[in-house]
A and B are shown apart, each in its own frame.
Chain A
Amino acid sequence: GAVVSQHPSRVICKSGTSVKIECRSLDFQATTMFWYRQFPKQSLMLMATSNEGSKATYEQGVEKDKFLINHASLTLSTLTVTSAHPEDSSFYICSARRASGNTGELFFGEGSRLTVL
């Protein structure tokens, strides 16, 4: 099956620093990727839709200047948490569908756990 990989799987940073999380579709091309955030014991919350070659579409309440998304190629999207603070500590998960041969299935990465000290 298709594989979506995230890196890093875990990251710890100091308050005020920026952290970049990569999301790669390893064996398929994805014109659209999705970024989710999940706090402990809660469900996934969609943050934004990442579009290859154009600006991301953010969900209501998600600060676009805080969570920078870049989708420069058909296999890579990045999420940068800028000036991270402890309240940004969360499990960040990306997902993607095949650009061609789409069966409707959304493939998810393993997630990246961010801890801001």
Chain B
Amino acid sequence: DAKTTQPNSMESNEEEPVHLPCNHSTISGTDYIHWYRQLPSQGPEYVIHGLTSNVNNRMASLAIAEDRKSSTLILHRATLRDAAVYYCILSDLNTGTASKLTFGTGTRLQVTL
């Protein structure tokens, strides 16, 4: 599986935007970029995923570089409930429902008042 590189931790003030970076220089043409987050003592939660174009949903936006070697998860207005570990993961969805997700170390986001 192609690997991703994320900063270990980031801090943000509440109600400000947060940009979480992810490098994936060895991404293949069929790899999708997924973002999940994990709150303390809970299972991970899906945030967003994309292939080439930028994506928006109710939780966040995903900006994908033109060469696809990096991406950025954007939380438009961070709240205290967004404090979590955010994982950027590559996976080939063309393998269908059996497509595995291999988690890296992620970025621990701290949100302060």
Taking a contact as CB atoms closer than 8 A, the residue among B41, B96, B103 that contacts A43 in the complex is B103
Please count how many residues in chain A sit with their CB below 8 Å of the partner chain's CB atoms.
29
Please count how many residues in chain B sit with their CB below 8 Å of the partner chain's CB atoms.
24
Which of B43-51, B62-70, B75-83 lies at the interface with chain A?
Answer: B43-51
A21-52 interface code vs B (CB 8 A; 1 in, 0 out): 00000000011101010000001111001010
A93 in contact with B43 given A32-B98, A102-B97, A104-B32 (CB within 8 Å): yes
CB B38 to nearest CB in A, in angstroms, measures 8
CB B101 to nearest CB in A, in angstroms, measures 6
B96 adjacent to A102 (CB under 8 Å): yes
The interface centre, meaning the residue of B34, B43, B104 with most chain A CB atoms within 10 A of its CB, is: B43
Complex: A109 Cα to B46 Cα, angstroms? 12
Cβ-closest chain B residue relative to A98: B97
Cβ-closest chain B residue relative to A31: B97
CB A50 to nearest CB in B, in angstroms, measures 10
**Chain B CB within 8 A of A99 CB:** yes
B contact residues vs A (CB 8 Å cutoff): 32, 34, 36, 38, 41-46, 49, 87, 93, 96-106
17 new A-B pairs (CB below 8 Å) besides A34-B101, A111-B43, A113-B41?
A4-B43, A6-B43, A32-B98, A43-B104, A43-B106, A44-B38, A46-B101, A91-B41, A93-B43, A93-B44, A102-B97, A104-B49, A104-B93, A104-B99, A105-B49, A108-B36, A111-B41
A contact residues vs B (CB 8 Å cutoff): 4, 6, 30-32, 34, 36, 43-46, 49, 51, 91, 93, 95, 97-99, 102, 104-111, 113
